[in-house]
Amino acid sequence: MKIAVVGATGLVGKKMLKVLEERIIQDFEFFPAASPKSVGKEIIFKNKTYKVQSVEAVIESKPDIAIFSAGSGTSQIYAPQFAAKGTVVIDNSSAWRSYDHIPLVVPEINGDVIKESDFIIANPNCSTIQMVMALAPLHKVFKIKRLVISTYQSVTGTGVKAIRQMEAERKGELCDKVYPYQIDMNLFPYGGTFEPDGYTTEELKLVNETRKILRDRNIQITATVVRVPVTGGHSEAVNIEFENEYDIADIYRLLNEMPGVKVIDDPQNLKFPMPLFAEDKDDVFVGRIRRDFSQPKSLNIWVVADNLRKGAATNAVQIAELIIKQRNLK
């Protein structure tokens, strides 16, 4: 079995290597690829040293699986070339998510949509993944009518340059800025780029990807994305209006039964999900679970997860695990 990681030297790419080491126990040939400026660099993977190759060279090696974390432009160019060689591409960018014929997968929810004929599979946006992990079991029973979402997204979602900017600002040092404003001791209400209607691309991902993964185009969704000066994970305040009435005890039961979700909800003892405790964990943490008394059949929840792990690397590797099993790769 051959597995490639495209974008192996980036922040998410490095996390993918770590998750691959942890989860894929089968022996496989490994092919790290990155941009031309990184070709020839050495990386350590499973206690072995590998030289980073060009994407073109790795395509010719015909890996069984290629996990992409190199941006949508790179994916649009190279994913079809890998697929033409019989490689299954698991893409972490936004390049393929909106195409009806491309599976958009969170394995615990809709891994069954992957067909043998699929050679490009999209990994959802980090904020979407953690939210639908909490929503899926509730939607199945009570049917979600409307969502109002506010996110509090870690600087790690922007990449290593954003982390460096925040750390430099905290030290009072000059640095190259990836954000147009100071992020330390600040937050700003947008992510991605603004569309003509005033919403941002990050907000629209939450709308469109949630509907696709939950297989319900009728869910009404509005979102506000906020960037906050933390590492460790993204947080989300989610207001849910259901079609059907619910009992709060059933909400707890369904969330506790959902694989990959952990409920931390003890406000009397100040125990609830926070990025501080989510960092480097694969679970999605849910708390502040309470009825919305202003609207019938409505609920408030707070969702936190490490956006680099379950929000990106872990979800992609879980898809790879499905492919390995489905196609009997050895």
Q: What's the pLDDT score for residue 232?
A: 96
pLDDT in tens, 244-254: 999 999 999 99
By the 8 A CB rule, do 148 and 117 touch? no
Q: What is the mean pLDDT of the segment spanning 202-218?
A: 98
- For residue 120, pLDDT over 90 is answered with yes
Q: What is the mean pLDDT of the segment spanning 197-222?
A: 98
Q: Which domains does the chain have, with CATH numbers?
A: 2-123+312-326 (3.40.50.720), 127-307 (3.30.360.10)
Q: How far, in whole angstroms, is CA 118 from its chain's centroid?
A: 20
Question: What is the secondary structure of 164-194 as a DSSP string?
Answer: HHHHHHHHT-----SSSS--TT--BS--S-B
What is the distance between the terminal CA atoms of the chain, rounded to a whole angstrom?
A: 5
- Considering the entire predicted model, what is its pTM? 0.96
Q: Beta 29-33 vs 234-242: how paired, if at all?
A: unpaired
Q: What's the pLDDT score for residue 135?
A: 98
Count of H-run helices and E-run strands, the chain = 10, 13
- For residue 178, pLDDT over 90 is answered with yes
What mean pLDDT is reported for the chain?
97
Show which residues are catalytic. 126, 234
Contacts of 65 (CB under 8 A, 6+ apart): 1, 2, 3, 4, 87, 88, 89, 90, 320, 323, 324, 329
Q: What's the pLDDT score for residue 59?
A: 98
Cα(8)–Cα(25) distance, integer angstroms = 19
pLDDT in tens, 6-39: 999 999 999 999 999 999 888 999 999 999 999 9
Q: Grade residue 46 by pLDDT with cuts at 50, 70 and 90.
A: very high
Q: Grade residue 330 by pLDDT with cuts at 50, 70 and 90.
A: confident
By the 8 A CB rule, do 310 and 283 touch? yes
Cα radius of gyration (the chain): 20
pLDDT in tens, 66-110: 999 999 999 999 999 999 999 999 999 999 999 999 999 999 999
Q: What is the mean pLDDT of the segment spanning 46-58?
A: 97
